[in-house]
């Protein structure tokens, strides 16, 4: 019978060590993206503030002019939707692309 020779760990050929170079991932968003995100967030907050309120002076009476005012029913929702669209623009804006305002 043929004998199987066992090699010691020192005798085994070892593959040369491959150094892995870890390069940092580029940032997904640039300074311009964050600027547009902050502007969009401010517009959303402004719309929410304009939509809130509507407190009557006397809690026992209902004044539809205060509750259904033009600012609360029309302007505030447009500001919120506009702010959300600006957030979408800020997310989709490529980092290397110049923003034309």
Q: Please report whether residue 5 resides in a domain.
A: no
Does 81 map to a domain? yes
Residue 80 lies in a domain: yes
Find the length of the chain.
Answer: 101
- What is d(CA 87, CA 38) in angstroms, rounded to the nearest whole number? 8
pLDDT at 85 over 70: yes
Range of the domain at 81: 31-54+64-92
pLDDT of 95 strictly over 80 = no
Structural domain includes residue 42? yes
Whole-number pLDDT of residue 99: 56
Q: Is residue 69 part of a domain?
A: yes
Across 53-60, average pLDDT: 78
Q: Is the pLDDT of residue 97 over 60?
A: no
As for how many domains the chain has, the answer is 1
- 14 is a domain residue: no
Give rounded-to-5 percent helix, strand, coil for the chain: 50, 0, 50
The pLDDT of residue 101 is above 60:
no
6 part of a folded domain: no
When the pLDDT of each residue in the chain is averaged and rounded to a whole number, the result is 83
User: Is the residue at 72 inside a domain?
Assistant: yes
In this predicted structure, the answer to whether residue 17 has a pLDDT above a threshold of 70 is yes
């Amino acid at each position: 019978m043929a004998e199987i020779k066992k090699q010691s760990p020192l005798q085994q050929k070892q593959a040369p060590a491959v150094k892995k170079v870890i390069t940092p991932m580029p940032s997904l968003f640039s300074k311009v993206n964050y600027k547009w995100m902050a502007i969009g967030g401010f517009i959303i907050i402004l719309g929410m503030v304009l939509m809130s309120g509507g407190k009557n002076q006397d809690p026992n009476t209902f004044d539809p002019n205060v509750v259904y005012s033009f600012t609360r029913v029309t302007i505030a929702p447009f500001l919120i939707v506009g702010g959300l669209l600006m957030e979408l623009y800020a997310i989709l804006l490529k980092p290397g692309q110049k923003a034309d305002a």
